[in-house]
């Protein structure tokens, strides 16, 4: 089986690279991934999958299905990009492009790798006339959108027995840690315009309200759980004229903590601060819930399987050219980024002291597996899938050690030959685990029992209120 998967993915390397390149060169932000989603969906159709578009009431979400009956194994693919992260690929200096959007989190690789895994499983099922269904989930809006959380709420994953996914990074490891739950909410203040010099007493400044709210939240930070994170972006400053009192201003808050309940409590307190700011400035406050996601629930049985398969994965060694490119990327990082390279990979649950990386810029080894009880300081909507379907995720080395996510260097390496090798390594490990789950009923049973054990005592509630629909980025 291993040989079949490896050979299949090697043979189709150029095909998958071209898909990753297409997504990379059509970067689109949350819920506007029209080009990327149709390209991938069409590729699924051409491979013989049946495609249902617009699932979960999201235009850029889709499910591609192949096969018959149980078990149903799902691969989760993302393809959204980020604002502010455009960069000329394969360059080692900062060279943003005219378009502001770029693949600074490697989702062109993520989506394509998961698709490649689904294709490899399909080929294997075909060859051996095996029962079972493979599904590729086209999941939009991971960045600031929680697309999968909406999809979970709409029942898109209901019939799936197990789900697999991965994320690009500088190392090969099993992402066995939890992640932070979060809420994203917009606070809009409405005041009264006025001449800022002639009649300032008649104006009521919405911008003042935003500033006072931010000051209030700065004081809140001292009194929340230590893992909590509170970020904000001022999405409307009210205009560019200092001599006009700003009548409309808006701030978007991202509130994170290990548990949804903790996020909810902080959210209630942030709302009080916003109300206080409105009271102080005599402005009117409108609160709009934007999106939310849960904390990630690991499945140890599946992680063990995934680690065994990842350890069997085999890709071509880095070339001299790739090593030189990586060296230049390494030197483009700041001192703190280089010094903190271990911290970054520990965030992906790399286990070790880094000694195997001495004088190296690219990881070639597979990290030992550890059932981590850590909580990553980031969030992912894969978390909501993990509450309703047994889920496991790995990470594969696609970038130079020290490369932070959401950096121009991450975009710069997004379609490099090394990144594509990592993408195919991830596809191999996921496909082999998928087949194992489909053919070894004892293994699947163990995975499902562990999941049921958890859900029995921890029922899932979607953190996004019923009436909230996905929305595009406020540009
Ligand atoms: N394996 C990973 C999965 C997600 C991320 C990540 O950066 N996620 C965004 C998602 C934010 C959101 O939930 O809106 C973040 O934490 O800021 C990082 C590594």
Instruction: Report the CATH number that the domain containing residue 237 is assigned in CATH.
Output: 3.30.70.360
Question: 380 CA to middle of ligand 1, Å?
Answer: 5
Does ligand 1 have an atom closer than 6 angstroms to the CB of 146? yes
Same domain? 188 vs 175 = no
The answer to the question of residue 208 being in a domain is yes
Residue 269 is part of which domain span? 181-292
**Is position 472 within any domain?**
no
Ligand 1 pocket member 239 (CB < 6 A): no
Ligand 1 atom 7 nearest Cα: 378
Ligand 1 centre distance from Cα of residue 105 (Å): 9
Distance 312 CA to ligand 1 centre (A): 28
Last residue of a domain, one of 245, 269, 292: 292
Show which of 246, 277, 292 is a domain's final residue.
292
Using 50 as the pLDDT threshold, list the residues of the chain that sit under it.
none
Shared-domain flag, residues 169 and 67: yes
Q: Which two tokens stand for residue 154?
A: 């709409």
For ligand 1, whether the C-beta of 378 sits within 6 Å is yes
Ligand 1 atom closest to Cα of 291?
14
- Residue 320 belongs to some domain of the structure: yes
What is the DSSP annotation of 215-241?
A: HHHHHHGGGS-TT-EEEEEEEE-S-S-
- Residue 467 resides in a domain: no
| pLDDT score recorded for residue 428 | 98
Domain count, the chain: 2
Same domain (yes/no): 307, 441 = yes
CA of 309 to the centre of ligand 1 (A): 25
Let me know whether 306 and 196 are in one domain: no
Task: Report DSSP letters for 127-182, one per residue.
Answer: HTT--EEEEEEEE---TTT-HHHHHHHTTTTTT-SEEEEEEEESSBEE--SB--EE
Residue 152 falls inside a structural domain: yes
Torsions phi, psi for 303 (to 5 deg): -60, -40
Same domain, 100 and 245: no
pLDDT of res. 306: 98
Torsion angle of alpha carbons 330, 414, 77, 404, nearest 10°? 30
Q: Is the CB of 424 under 6 A from ligand 1?
A: no
- Note whether residue 27 is domain-resident: yes
Handedness of CA 332, 338, 340, 345 (dihedral sign): positive
ipTM tops 0.90:
yes
- Tell me, yes or no, whether 382 and 256 share the same domain: no
Q: Give me the pLDDT at residue 408, please.
A: 98
Nearest in space to 130 (alpha carbons), one of 412, 342, 439: 439
pLDDT of residue 475: 62
CATH code for the domain of 10:
3.40.630.10
pLDDT at 473: 86
Pocket lining: 167 vs ligand 1, CB cutoff 6 Å: yes
Ligand 1 and 144: CB distance under 6 A: yes
Is the Cβ atom of 405 under 6 angstroms away from ligand 1? Answer: yes
Which among 103, 110, 142, 175 is the best mutation to test ligand 1's pocket, defined by most ligand atoms within 8 Å of the CB? 142
Ligand 1 in reach of 229 Cβ (< 6 A): no
Beta strands in 191-283 (DSSP E): 229-236, 248-257
Residues 162, 73 within the same domain: yes
Beta carbons within 8 Å of 70's beta carbon, 6+ residues apart? 131, 132, 133, 161
Look at residue 165 and tell me if it is in a domain. yes
Residue at a domain's end among 269, 292, 315: 292
Q: Which atom of ligand 1 is nearest to the CA of 184?
A: 14
- What's the gap between Cα 53 and its chain centre? 21
Same domain membership, residue 141 and residue 188: no
Contact 423, 398 (CB under 8 A): yes
Burial of 268 (0-12, 13-18, 19+ CB in 10 A): exposed
Task: Report residue 74 as tokens.
Answer: 């799902």
* 254 shares its domain with 350: no
Q: What residues form DSSP beta bridges with 139?
A: 78
Whether 72 and 104 have beta carbons less than 8 Å apart is answered as no
Each residue's pLDDT tens digit, 408-429: 999 999 999 999 999 999 999 9
Report which ligand 1 atom has the smallest distance to the Cα of 254: 14
* Residue ID of nearest Cα to ligand 1 atom 19: 378
The CA distance from 179 to 201, in Å, is: 48
Burial of 49 from C-beta contacts in 10 A (0-12 / 13-18 / 19+): buried
CB 193 within 8 A of CB 239: no
138 and 218, same domain (yes or no): no
Q: Is 466 part of a structural domain of the chain?
A: no
Pick left, alpha or beta for residue 90 (phi over 0 → left; psi -120 to 50 → alpha; otherwise beta).
left
- Looking at the fold, whether 65 and 92 belong to one and the same domain comes out as yes
Distance 3 CA to ligand 1 centre (A): 33
96 and 126 in a single domain? The answer is yes
């Amino acid at each position: 089986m291993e040989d079949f998967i490896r050979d299949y993915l090697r043979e189709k390397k150029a095909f998958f690279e071209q898909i990753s390149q297409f997504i990379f060169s059509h970067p689109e932000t949350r819920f506007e991934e029209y080009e990327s989603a149709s390209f991938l969906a069409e590729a699924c159709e051409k491979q013989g999958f049946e495609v249902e578009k617009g699932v979960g009431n999201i235009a850029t979400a889709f499910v591609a299905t192949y096969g018959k009956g149980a078990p149903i194994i799902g691969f989760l693919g993302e393809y959204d990009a980020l604002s502010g992260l455009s960069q000329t690929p394969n360059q080692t200096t900062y060279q943003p492009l005219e378009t502001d959007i770029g693949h600074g989190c490697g989702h062109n690789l993520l989506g394509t790798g998961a698709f490649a895994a689904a294709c490899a499983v399909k080929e294997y099922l075909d060859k051996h006339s095996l029962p079972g269904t493979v599904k590729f989930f086209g999941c939009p809006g991971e960045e600031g959108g929680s697309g999968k959380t909406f999809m979970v709420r709409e029942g898109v994953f209901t019939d799936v027995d197990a789900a697999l996914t991965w994320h690009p990074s500088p190392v090969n490891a099993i992402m066995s840690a939890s992640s932070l739950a979060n809420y994203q909410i917009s606070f809009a203040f409405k005041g009264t315009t006025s001449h800022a010099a002639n009649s300032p007493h008649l104006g009521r400044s919405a911008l003042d309200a935003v500033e006072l709210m931010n000051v209030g939240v700065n004081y809140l930070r001292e009194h929340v759980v230590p893992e909590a994170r509170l970020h904000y972006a001022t999405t409307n400053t009210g205009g560019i004229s200092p001599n006009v009192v700003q009548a409309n201003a808006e701030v978007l808050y991202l509130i994170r903590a290990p548990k949804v309940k903790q996020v909810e409590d902080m959210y209630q307190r942030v709302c009080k601060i916003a109300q206080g700011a409105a009271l102080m400035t005599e402005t009117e406050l409108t609160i709009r819930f934007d999106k939310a996601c849960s904390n990630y629930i690991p499945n140890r049985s599946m992680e063990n399987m995934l680690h065994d398969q990842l350890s069997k994965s085999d890709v071509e060694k880095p070339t001299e050219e790739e090593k030189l490119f990586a060296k230049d990327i390494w030197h483009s990082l700041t001192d703190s980024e280089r010094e903190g390279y271990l911290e970054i990979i520990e965030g992906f649950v790399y286990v070790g002291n880094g000694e195997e990386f001495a004088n190296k810029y690219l990881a070639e080894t597979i990290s030992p597996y550890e059932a981590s009880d850590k909580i990553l300081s980031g969030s992912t909507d894969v978390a909501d899938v993990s509450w309703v379907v047994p889920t496991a995720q790995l990470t594969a080395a696609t970038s130079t050690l020290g490369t932070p996510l959401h950096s121009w260097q991450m975009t710069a390496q997004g379609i490099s030959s090394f990144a594509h090798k990592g993408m195919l390594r991830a596809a191999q490990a996921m496909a082999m685990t998928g087949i194992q789950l489909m053919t070894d009923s004892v293994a699947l049973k163990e995975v499902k029992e562990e999941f049921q054990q958890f859900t029995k005592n921890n029922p899932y509630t979607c953190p996004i209120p019923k009436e909230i629909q996905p929305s595009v980025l406020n540009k």
